[in-house]
Amino acid sequence: MPEESIISLKNINLTLSNRVILKDVSLSINEGEFIAILGPNGAGKSTLLKLLLGLYKPSSGMISIFGSSPKRGNKFIGYAPQHRTLEADMALRARDVVGFGLDGTHWGIGFPSKHKTKLIEKALDEVDMLRYANSPVGKLSGGEQQRLLIAQALLTNPKILLLDEPLASLDITHANTIINLVKSIAKKRNITVLLVTHDVNPLLAVIDRVVYIANTHSAIGKPSEIITSEVLSKLYASPIEVIQTKGRMFVIGEEL
């Protein structure tokens, strides 16, 4: 894997509404890496993605993405937000939802064009959803709707893909399908992936490293280096026990 850092955070501090979210966070991500972002609820996992998207600005410290500060609407970053199942009577078609990746900065649904249609159908095909292009999105399963969000994030041909809890509410089979899909797309396009999740176990076979955020601090490294009793106890400033069995990792502690 090329050792070329494309994302760099140096001594990042972030306070929101008088609450310290991140304190002295430093990390760098290399081109083509698949990174899982872990930590308890409210630790700042999604907030980290929003810093990279330019939606939040750090209270202090420096962030660099491809050598520049984060900015809103960066075409080199594809983003799939946390998914909430759409209502069953939702009339929008699958292709309409994916098209928001191009029209999301404008009111209403954009005007059709051959170029736009081609981009949308290519993205739908990449996530194996082309056959559902004209299906009402509310009739699709949670896993199928998640694929649409990923397709939407791919429309600008990004170099970085940020996925916020794409496995939430999915059963093991559908979660594994999404993981394998993202891995395949990342390899094909040489995309760097940062994926927020609560459970690292389904991802252990595909990720390169993890970023673990807890108690405003962070640690980055291979799962076997970071998800240990020693490292997590230091992050939480509280005794944490990590149990490894049958290729899975379980984190146990009073605060979790």
The confidence score (pLDDT) of residue 2 equals 47
* Cα dihedral 201, 202, 204, 207 sign: negative
- What letter would DSSP give residue 227? S
Partners of 242 in beta bridges? 251
The confidence score (pLDDT) of residue 112 equals 63
- What letter would DSSP give residue 67? T
Report mean pLDDT in 10-residue bins for the chain, 256 residues: 80 96 97 96 95 96 96 93 70 88 51 82 95 92 92 94 94 93 96 96 96 97 96 95 92 72
Where exactly are the structural domains of the chain?
86-157
Do the strands 60-65 and 5-16 form a parallel or antiparallel pair, or are they unpaired?
Answer: antiparallel
The confidence score (pLDDT) of residue 89 equals 63
Residues in the chain: 256
pTM (whole model) above 0.85: yes
**Six-digit token pair at 34?**
């698949």
Q: Give, to the nearest 10 degrees, the angle between helix 142-154 and helix 114-126.
A: 130
The confidence score (pLDDT) of residue 218 equals 97
